[in-house]
């Protein structure tokens, strides 16, 4: 594969290509986020990386690169509830719409797209399908979760893989799938303890005021847990719906404490019980492991945890995408 990596972020698609085992090379990556580009360059220093608007790239320029494959994860905010579901009216769709507009003039044989659940019902998705059909691509859409691949993290996402005819898939394409097309044994999710760092700093433990206000809303994972919630870019700043928290005490212990908290009649007792929970945020390294980033992945030392959480919240699950890349070859 000779790859154009659009909306390249921190290099998720590049890592997925490596994980797939498919012989391939990223010839050009492009993203407008300078902080994400720092991370990309830190991990792939030899790749030509453009820090510019994708809509400024002409088909003539891109064809000269000599790629046959596009891997991309366009901005998801136009299709989420928090992003107000602006769809085509959201300016963050402009770059993706530009790609669709020039696709008939691009010498591309393979495409893989990742986005948030909700994209599949959008106007932009309809435009994607119309463009793929117009350009004579065979394609298949999916909604897949990492838990189906043995990864204890819920991150349901939309995917589309496309091959230009006469190239075809080894399966019959059709309506949206919630599983890979080939029969395979579903793996049990590994335990959270497999991704936990040792000797985590006190700074990751939840402040008392956060615990007192939000403890009923927190999703708690322990060492033996085989699940965790989706981590968003707001993790560490907002308590509700941004991702799970971790405790190293046993599941029986923290469940007993939660029962006692429900029955607690005074603030002093509540504070003591919350302290015994020993709740902390997952570290950026732990989240990257849940998203299947390899041990070789690293952030520049200049980045703050807040920046790392934001970048990971916008990234992909490497394992899931690597399995889809295999379908393209």
* Catalytic site positions: 76
- 280 CB contacts (<8 Å, ≥6 apart)? 200, 204, 205, 206, 245, 246, 247
Give the separation between CA 71 and CA 318, rounded to whole angstroms.
12
CB 287 within 8 A of CB 229: no
The position carrying tokens 């003591």 is 272
Q: By the 8 A CB rule, do 144 and 105 touch?
A: no
Structure tokens at 91: 């300016």
Closest to 140 measured CA to CA, from 97, 104, 177: 177
Whether 233 and 243 have beta carbons less than 8 Å apart is answered as no
Q: Quick count: other Cβ atoms within 10 Å of Cβ 182? A: 10
Enter the tokens of residue 146. 């990492």
Sheet with 110-116, side-by-side order of all strands = 49-50, 25-30, 2-6, 69-72, 110-116, 157-164, 137-144
Strands 110-116 and 157-164: antiparallel
Give the integer Cα–Cα distance in Å for 66 and 63.
6
Residue 318 CA: distances (Å) to CA of 70, 76, 192, 279, 315? 16, 17, 17, 27, 9
Integer Cα distance of 100 and 289 in angstroms: 33
Q: For the chain, report the end-to-end CA distance as a whole number of angstroms.
A: 9
């Amino acid at each position: 594969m000779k790859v154009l990596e659009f909306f390249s972020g921190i290099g998720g698609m590049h890592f997925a290509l490596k994980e797939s085992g498919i012989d391939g090379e990223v010839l050009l990556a492009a993203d407008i986020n300078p902080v994400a580009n720092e991370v990309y360059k830190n991990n792939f220093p030899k790749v030509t990386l453009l820090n510019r608007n994708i809509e400024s790239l002409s088909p003539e320029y891109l064809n000269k690169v000599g790629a046959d494959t596009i891997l991309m994860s366009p901005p998801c905010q136009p299709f989420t509830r928090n992003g107000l579901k602006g769809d085509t009216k959201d300016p963050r769709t402009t770059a993706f719409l530009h790609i669709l507009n020039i696709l008939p003039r691009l010498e591309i044989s393979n495409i893989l797209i990742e986005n948030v659940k909700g994209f599949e019902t959008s106007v932009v998705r309809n435009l994607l399908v119309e463009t793929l059909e117009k350009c004579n691509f065979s394609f298949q859409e999916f909604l897949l979760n990492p838990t189906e691949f043995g990864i204890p993290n819920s991150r349901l996402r939309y995917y589309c893989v496309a091959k230009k005819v006469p190239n075809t898939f080894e399966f019959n394409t059709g309506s949206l799938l919630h599983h890979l097309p080939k029969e395979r044994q579903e793996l049990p999710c590994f335990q959270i303890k497999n991704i936990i760092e040792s000797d985590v700093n006190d700074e990751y433990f939840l402040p008392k005021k956060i615990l007192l206000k939000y403890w009923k809303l927190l999703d708690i994972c322990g060492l033996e847990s085989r699940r965790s919630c989706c981590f968003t870019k707001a993790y560490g700043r907002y308590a509700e719906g941004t991702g799970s928290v971790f405790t190293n005490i046993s599941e029986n212990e923290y469940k007993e404490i939660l029962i006692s908290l429900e029955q607690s009649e005074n603030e002093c007792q509540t504070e003591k019980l919350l302290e015994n929970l020993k709740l902390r945020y997952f570290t950026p390294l732990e989240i990257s492991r849940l998203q299947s980033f390899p041990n070789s992945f690293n952030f520049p030392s200049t980045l703050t945890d807040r920046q790392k959480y934001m970048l990971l919240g916008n990234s992909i699950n490497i394992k899931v995408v690597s399995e889809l890349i295999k379908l393209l070859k």
